[in-house]
Amino acid sequence: RCAGPRDGCRRRPGHSTDPGGPPGTRRAKRGLMFHLQTLELLHWDYCQRVTLPLDGNIITIAGPNGSGKTTLLDALRTLLGLECSGGRTFRTYARHANAETAWLRALVDNRPRSRQNSSRPFASSLIYADQVTLACRIERQGGDWTRRYAIVEGAVEIEQLAEKSDRDWLGIEAWRKRLEAAGLTRAIGRVLALEQGQTDRLCELSPKELLRLVFEVFGDQEVLDRYEQARSHQQQLAKEVQAAE
């Protein structure tokens, strides 16, 4: 390890041996993804109205083929702005309901992760309530279906959401950016997008690939990358010192 000029080790200007980040900077660690507490479906596929608790550490969905496991997962994917499985889309499920509007609604935990109020998952959206409602409204417009999204403070029912004006709703791209800022990284999105029965593909990854995926999911990939850069720089310095001796 290079301790500095006193031990005869030279440092290049602009380089740091601290894996925590570049000189003079300290990046805030990306916050963990928000925690889903409940999921409600209204006129989604053949569901009239269903509310599911999701406040456990581990949630298991079991049932025979055709019992609705994929339907539920695709509802969650649609609410989070992800693609449905098996070539389906949100339109597929909306058509089955034979209704003009379908709704997906979730309550999420927005409590601060530390003593700072800015550590709340949706602080970037200027929402500081302990509970937040995420909603997706799917409507028939002419011969097509459209979807819009909303983030609302507190626990808000679908009937109240239906009264909101158009300016309160977001398109898919703006929605994805809001959720990414709240901790839904692209790596987590890739895990959630795995098809049913394909989770065994994770076992086919090499140890290095699996470790990288874990770091990406938990938001620590940048830390790992900076550590690799610092280690590479130290190795280069060691070679230069050896050559000088």
Residue 193 DSSP class: T
Burial code (b: 16+ CB inside 10 Å, e: under 16) for 168-188 equals ebbeeeebbebbbebbbbebb
- Cα-atom radius of gyration of the chain, to the nearest Å? 23
Segment 40-53, tens digit of pLDDT: 999 999 888 999 99
Q: Is the pLDDT of residue 23 over 80?
A: no
Least confident of 33-42, 115-124, 147-156, 194-203: 194-203
Long-range contacts of 47-54 (CB under 8 A, 24+ apart): 47/71, 47/97, 54/106
- Residues 94 and 115: their CA atoms lie apart, in Å, by 42
Joined together, the tokens standing for residue 114 give: 């530390």
Please compute, for residue 174, the number of CA atoms within 13 A of its CA located in the half-sphere on the CB side. Answer: 11
Give, to the nearest 10 degrees, the angle between helix 207-217 and helix 221-244.
120
Q: Is the pLDDT of residue 161 over 60?
A: yes
Least confident of 22-31, 36-45, 60-69, 149-158: 22-31
Q: Taking the domains of the chain in order of start, what are their residue ranges? A: 5-28+220-244, 35-184
Segment 173-207, tens digit of pLDDT: 999 999 999 988 777 777 776 666 666 677 777 88
Residue 14 DSSP class: T
The predicted model scores a pTM of: 0.69
- Residues 94 and 104: their CA atoms lie apart, in Å, by 11
For the structural domain made of 35-184, what CATH number should be given? 3.40.50.300
Residue 115 has a pLDDT of 85
Q: Is the pLDDT of residue 142 over 50?
A: yes
Number of residues assigned to the chain: 245
Residue 239 — pLDDT band, cuts 50, 70, 90? confident
Q: Is the pLDDT of residue 16 over 80?
A: no
Residue 119 has a pLDDT of 87
Q: Scanning the structure block, which residue is given the tokens 């720089």?
A: 233
